[in-house]
């Protein structure tokens, strides 16, 4: 498996698959179009965020979107994992875990001393994050 930044063609593949990633990541609460997915990602990319992809034999298996975020309470910059997705055919093979490990290493190399992420309650990826040492920091609650 190779983990690296994507080329332009691979970026288009990511954008085509992004709606599915967002649907799964939000447990079906958000069902965006490709255009909406692009609009969500563009500000992150413009502020220096970037994707890393996992490939094997030229096939895209998954990706992680990394960048910086500001903790407004502490007034400091932190590394942030904005998105993680592994295509269904490649799940259960440790790809997500390797993408996260590589992403953390890259964010540390980028100068961030702390890495954070946000995940919907009930998302199956939570156990992967916890196994890598992520801990609950805040809890977002809602009422309708």
pLDDT digit string (tens) for 106-122? 999 999 999 999 999 99
Whether 139 has a pLDDT exceeding 90, the answer reads no
* pLDDT (0 to 100) of residue 140: 87
Task: Find the domain containing 98 and state its range.
Answer: 2-131
pLDDT in tens, 62-77: 999 999 999 988 899 9
Q: What do you get for the CA distance between the two ends of the chain, in Å?
A: 44
Residue 138: which pLDDT band, with cuts at 50, 70 and 90? confident
Whether 78 has a pLDDT exceeding 90, the answer reads yes
Whether 49 has a pLDDT exceeding 90, the answer reads yes
* Vertex 123 angle, CA 117 and 125, to 5°: 65
Domain count of the fold of the chain: 1
The reply to whether 30 falls in a domain is yes
* CATH of residue 83: 3.40.630.30
* pLDDT (0 to 100) of residue 113: 95
Distance of CA 83 to the CA centre of its chain: 2
Give the E-state strand segments of the chain in sequence order.
2-4, 50-56, 59-71, 76-86, 115-117
pTM of the model: 0.93
């Amino acid at each position: 498996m190779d983990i690296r930044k994507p080329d332009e063609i691979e970026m288009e593949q990511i954008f085509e698959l992004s709606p599915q990633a967002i649907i799964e990541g939000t447990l079906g609460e958000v069902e965006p179009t490709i255009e909406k997915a692009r609009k969500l990602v563009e500000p992150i990319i413009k502020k220096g965020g970037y994707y890393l992809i996992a490939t094997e034999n030229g096939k895209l298996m998954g990706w992680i979107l990394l960048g910086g975020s500001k903790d407004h309470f502490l007034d400091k910059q932190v590394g942030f994992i904005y998105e993680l997705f592994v295509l269904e055919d490649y799940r259960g093979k440790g790809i997500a875990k390797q993408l996260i490990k590589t992403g953390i290493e890259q964010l540390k190399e980028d100068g961030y001393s702390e890495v954070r992420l946000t995940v919907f309650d009930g998302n199956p990826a939570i156990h992967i994050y916890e196994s890598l040492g992520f801990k609950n920091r805040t809890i977002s609650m809602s009422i309708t």
